Amino acid sequence: MASNDTKNFVIAIGGTGMRCLESFVHLCAAGMFDNKEIEVLTIDTDQENGNKNRVENLVQNYIRIKSEHQKNDGGNPNVKTFFSAKINLYRFWTDYQEQSYKTLSKLSAGSNDTRQENKWLSDLLLEEDTVQSFDLGHGYRAQTHLGSHLMHHSILHAARNLAAGKTDSPAEKDLGKFLDKLGAESADSRVFVFGSVFGGTGASSIPVLPNALKEAYSIMVQGKSLDLDKVKFGSTLLTEYFSFKKPTAADKSTTENSVIADSAFFALNSQAALQFYYTDPTVKKRYSRFYHIGWPSETQNVDSNKDSNKVITGGSSQKNKCHVLELMCASAAFDFFNLPTSELDTQKARYLMRSVPHDGAYTFRGSDFVGPKDGDEMEHKLSAFLAFSHIALAINKGADGQPGVKGFNQRLQKQNITAYAGLTDEDMSQIDLYLRSFAYRINPSNQELEHGWLYQIRQSVGSGTMMFNSSAFPTSIKDLDQVDIGSIMKEEGNQWSEKGLFGGESPSKTFDKFVERLVDGGTVDPSQKVTTTKEKFIAHICNALLKSQNFQ
């Protein structure tokens, strides 16, 4: 295991990076990153991107849940409980909304001579009426040769502004804070980068990021340097796994949309990127580990959940569903952060891969994600968190917008457990909100069950299975009344369903048993490092659920 002094950093870049971060945050919520403090930086060119906003809202809610009432400090790391990792969020985005930055052709700086030279260089390498002219506000649109250059420049530009003290940009200030943390902790720091190799922003940024951060830190904190021999970088080599409608001539009819990423080329992009990552000496030197992650089955079509026929290039409409591969990426980060330091003391990258059995369909188990040693723990913790979601959302009606966690807390008070009476409605509604994004909610406009993260992950597996029994995933509002929190896990030894009068499973009796267990025990242990009322409440529920599942 990594020592407790190891400092962990996560950088999520582009739409795919954001969804990988979403999986990572949900693993943190389930308690997979015990006793860790994680600095998270989101990087995108598209500040309005739907996936970016979704994950940033998720992280901000996570931080609120971790914080004491009306503080927003993210609380403290805990052990063996839900929301055990402390997460700090920093957001950096390149501002291409301003007219003079909107396209490459409009970028201009320096003397007339410099500008003329830049123009000649641009004309030599990049097509003038397409690559130089498309709207950068929706990302680099699979033009990685352009994107790497621009992202590197943006980070350095921000560092120069910070060094000169002439920035009011919250994005640049956040980058500065992140670099400060990275610089301060560089003795034993690990940075894991989420992003794809086949798309635009992530694919452009992953290769240049370590050097860009190093240079930016040197500019920002003059006289100091980021020691990249001590800061270990890891990333995924995530190849194509989703597709979307081929852009038509009409889609590309305007100058700002003259370049639109075409998913038909994603496989080719992936192939070229992998060749680059295997041969480029800078990348091989700067990264300690690369985790190969790919999807051999049919790619997920992201158009199916969109109303418009138009190709969505970015912006708030881009809210793609989550995919099991993103959970695989988050699991790669789990591996990276838990490796012994000795395994990362290399001067060149290691490339890792593992395969998952495929018998016509996938049967994913915890060990497929985090290895046999931690697979059982992952299943237990995710299962317990799903059970907590069902308790709040289904049994206590939180999916319908009612105060689910509050209802459960009132239940405890009715049983004269008043230790958590001090929790405010706001405290508890934050947990409801989080659980809805994790599992499901009832859409008030059409009264249908809207899938959250875990459901979307499961859906992406198709006809395969995802760790738990299919009955753990009720698919209609009617089924919510019958959800049995004791039969989520597959192994009989981990099930705790109660039988009804005629021998069948009785969800109400199982819940009854759980409350009894909660009442009788499950109190928190000092080793869990929980101090606030909210932390104790969450840990109490976690303990009772894990105990019910016979998890030691």
Partner 1 sequence: MNSYIVPLIAAGLMLLIAAVISNAIAFEGGVNPKDPRKRKIVFWLVALLNPIVAYAASLMLAPDSSQVIAHNDYMSGLPIGTGVGFLVYIIVGFGISKAFRTGKLGNWF
| Residues binding partner 1 (CB under 8 A) | 391, 395-397, 402-403, 406-408, 410-411, 414-417, 508-509, 511-512, 515-516, 519-520
Q: Is the dihedral of CA 202, 206, 212, 213 positive or negative?
A: positive
Between 263 and 396, name the residue whose CB sits nearer to partner 1: 396
Q: Please give the DSSP secondary-structure letter assigned to residue 499.
A: B
Between 310 and 509, name the residue whose CB sits nearer to partner 1: 509
The crossing angle, in degrees rounded to 10, of helices 533-548 and 366-390 is 120
The crossing angle, in degrees rounded to 10, of helices 50-66 and 425-438 is 140
CB of 450 to partner 1, least distance (A): 21
Between 156 and 417, name the residue whose CB sits nearer to partner 1: 417
Nearest partner of 92 among 26, 179, 33, judged by Cα: 179
Q: Please give the DSSP secondary-structure letter assigned to residue 394.
A: I
Q: Please give the DSSP secondary-structure letter assigned to residue 497.
A: P
Q: What's the N-to-C CA distance of the chain in angstroms?
A: 19
Paired tokens of 146? 């352009």
Paired tokens of 348? 């060149």
Q: In degrees to the nearest 10, what's the CA dihedral of 460, 238, 194, 95?
A: -100
Paired tokens of 86? 């402390």
Between 332 and 483, name the residue whose CB sits nearer to partner 1: 483
Between 401 and 422, name the residue whose CB sits nearer to partner 1: 401
Between 280 and 516, name the residue whose CB sits nearer to partner 1: 516
Question: How far apart (Å, rounded) are the C-alpha atoms in residues 280 and 176?
Answer: 28
Say if residue 80 is exposed, middle or buried (CB neighbours under 10 Å; 0-12, 13-18, 19+). Answer: buried
CB of 355 to partner 1, least distance (A): 42
Q: Tell me the residue length of the chain.
A: 552
- What phi and psi values does residue 337 have, to the nearest 5 degrees? -75, -20
Between 73 and 425, name the residue whose CB sits nearer to partner 1: 425
Between 186 and 396, name the residue whose CB sits nearer to partner 1: 396
CB of 513 to partner 1, least distance (A): 9
The b-or-e profile of 32-66 (16+ CB within 10 A means b, else e) is bbbebbbbbbbbbbbbbbbbbbbbbebbebbbbbb
Between 407 and 464, name the residue whose CB sits nearer to partner 1: 407
CB of 411 to partner 1, least distance (A): 6
Between 373 and 414, name the residue whose CB sits nearer to partner 1: 414
CB of 532 to partner 1, least distance (A): 22
Rg value, the chain, Cα: 24
CB of 26 to partner 1, least distance (A): 24
CB of 415 to partner 1, least distance (A): 5
- In SS3 terms, 257-285 reads as HCCCCCHHHHHHHHHHHHHHHHHCHHHHH
Q: In degrees to the nearest 10, what's the CA dihedral of 238, 239, 244, 247?
A: 110
